């Protein structure tokens, strides 16, 4: 997170896109790029015009190593109704910068620092830096709601409760500081049950990326007070997705056969898959990758509920069974589940 925004003039290696082969989508050069944004799934390119930044209409698909168009169509995100159709008239100050910086000042259009620095999660730190004994916000010491709000401030889709602000429409929680109740500044995008929207599947699961918070607040984990930092360490780890432990270990520290919330029996009894297979990974079934980030690249849902093939048939929401067994039908998956000794047909809709 500390390197999500980079200056290619200081770090030429930051540019991942291939500018060596002409592409009709790419109407700009490396020299036109003021900042790069992103390194894992996609990379977008910012340029400065006047006192604001704008995103060029081409982005680099990191996984597939190809150029893709970048443009939010009218009628998709809520803010398309209040901003011009021209990509170069959609400023990042209102639509992006509050989550990609620390202490972004909407009056001067400048931050204390670019990137997700310490103060993004810990609040103002001048006094603490001068005297380590001076208090600073520690999310681990906040109540459950405020602790998760520190993450949800950026890992969610929504809009400010007061909008416009000084005549401009913002797509990030203006005014929020760690330790506050985020809900006083920010309202999450609502699901419309039974309807597929730009942000949600018909069952209420998030449809697009950067919606971990929208998912999480619906689930039992959030209800029981399990915090984001129980699974993730934002300071960095060697594991995928900044997990505190590798693979299933982050789940089985709480969910195991000997603990009250755990599944009955062994791993293979619970999953009916080989222990070292994709089907025995907790996230494969309970966090399916059904939220689009770019083209065919998806990120994982965060409700932790199992999406039954019956729900897919009824509402079109992708389920983990048919997403993995791409040559099989939803009915095949439902029949298979109904044959498992640990699965109730009442719960899977069979």
Is 184 found in the same domain as 144?
A: yes
Q: What is the pLDDT of residues 14-70, one digit of tens each?
A: 999 999 999 999 999 999 999 999 999 999 999 999 999 999 999 999 999 999 999
pLDDT for residue 57: 97
Is 94 found in the same domain as 169?
A: no
The average pLDDT across 75-90 equals 96
Task: Map tokens 């082969």 to a residue.
Answer: 21
pLDDT bin (cut points 50, 70, 90) of residue 261 is confident
151 and 228 Cβ atoms separated by less than 8 Å: yes
3-state DSSP assignment of residue 102: strand
Is 148 found in the same domain as 85?
A: no
159 found inside a domain: yes
pLDDT for residue 194: 94
Final residue of a structural domain among 224, 259, 294: 259
The average pLDDT across 146-163 equals 97
pLDDT for residue 342: 86
Sign of CA dihedral 198, 203, 208, 211: positive
Ranges of beta strands (E only) in 70-154 are 101-102, 113-114
The average pLDDT across 96-114 equals 96
**Cα–Cα separations (whole angstroms), residue 22 to 8, 19, 49, 65:** 20, 7, 24, 15
Is 96 found in the same domain as 152?
A: no
Q: Write down the mean pLDDT value for the chain.
A: 95
Is 246 found in the same domain as 144?
A: yes
Is 255 found in the same domain as 142?
A: yes
343 found inside a domain: no
The HSE-up count of residue 309 (CA atoms within 13 Å, CB side) is 19
Is 252 found in the same domain as 161?
A: yes
The average pLDDT across 297-318 equals 95
Rounded to 5°, angle at Cα 306 from 301 and 309: 110
Final residue of a structural domain among 259, 279, 306: 259
Neighbours of 59 (CB within 10 A): 24
Is 155 found in the same domain as 86?
A: no
pLDDT for residue 350: 57
93 and 165 Cβ atoms separated by less than 8 Å: no
67 found inside a domain: yes
349 found inside a domain: no
7 found inside a domain: yes
Q: What is the pLDDT of residues 207-258, one digit of tens each?
A: 999 999 999 999 999 999 999 999 999 999 999 999 999 999 999 999 988 8
Is 146 found in the same domain as 248?
A: yes
pLDDT above 90 (res 349): no
Structural domain that includes position 40: 1-117
Is 109 found in the same domain as 142?
A: no
321 found inside a domain: no
Q: 0.85 exceeded by the pTM?
A: yes
290 found inside a domain: no
pLDDT for residue 203: 95
Helices (H) and strands (E) in the chain, counts: 13, 12
pLDDT for residue 122: 96
The average pLDDT across 288-300 equals 95
Is 46 found in the same domain as 13?
A: yes
The HSE-up count of residue 41 (CA atoms within 13 Å, CB side) is 13
The average pLDDT across 280-287 equals 97
pLDDT above 70 (res 133): yes
Q: Give the list of residues 6+ apart from residue 161 with CB closer than 8 angstroms, or none.
A: 184, 185, 186, 187
Domain count, the chain: 2
Final residue of a structural domain among 259, 289, 323: 259
* Element at 315 (helix H, strand E): helix 309-315
pLDDT for residue 210: 94
End-to-end CA distance of the chain: 43
Is 108 found in the same domain as 3?
A: yes
% of residues, the chain, pLDDT over 90 = 94
35 found inside a domain: yes
């Amino acid at each position: 997170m500390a390197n999500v925004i980079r200056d290619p003039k200081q770090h030429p290696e930051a540019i991942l896109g291939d500018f060596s082969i002409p592409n009709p989508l790419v109407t700009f050069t490396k020299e036109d790029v003021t900042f790069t944004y992103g390194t894992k799934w996609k990379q977008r390119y910012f340029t400065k015009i006047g006192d604001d930044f704008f995103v060029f209409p081409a982005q680099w698909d990191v996984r597939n190593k190809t150029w893709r168009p970048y443009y939010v169509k009218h009628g998709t995100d809520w803010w398309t109704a209040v901003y011009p159709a021209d990509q170069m008239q959609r400023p990042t100050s209102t639509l992006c910068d509050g989550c990609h910086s620390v202490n972004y000042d909407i009056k001067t259009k400048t931050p204390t620092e670019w990137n997700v620095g310490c103060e993004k999660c810990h609040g103002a730190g001048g006094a603490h830096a001068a005297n380590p004994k001076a208090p600073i916000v520690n999310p681990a010491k906040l109540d459950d709601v405020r602790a998760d709000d520190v993450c949800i401030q950026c890992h969610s889709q929504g809009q400010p409760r007061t909008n416009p602000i000084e005549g401009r429409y913002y797509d990030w929680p203006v005014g929020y500081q760690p330790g506050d109740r985020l809900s006083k500044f920010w309202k999450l995008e609502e699901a419309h049950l039974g309807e597929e929207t730009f942000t949600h599947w018909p069952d209420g699961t998030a449809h697009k990326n950067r919606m971990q918070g929208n998912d999480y607040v619906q689930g039992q984990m959030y209800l029981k007070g399990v915090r984001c930092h129980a699974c993730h360490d934002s300071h960095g780890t060697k594991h995928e997705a900044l997990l505190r432990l590798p693979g299933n270990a982050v789940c089985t520290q709480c969910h195991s056969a000997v603990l009250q919330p755990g599944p009955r029996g062994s791993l293979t009894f619970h999953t009916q898959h080989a222990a070292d297979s994709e089907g025995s990974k907790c996230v494969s079934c309970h966090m399916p990758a059904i939220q689009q980030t770019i083209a065919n690249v998806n990120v994982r849902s965060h409700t932790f509920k199992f999406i039954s093939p019956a729900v897919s048939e009824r509402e079109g929401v992708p389920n983990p069974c048919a997403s993995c067994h791409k040559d099989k039908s939803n009915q095949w998956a439902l029949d298979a589940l109904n044959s498992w000794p640990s699965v109730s047909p009442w719960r899977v809709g069979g």
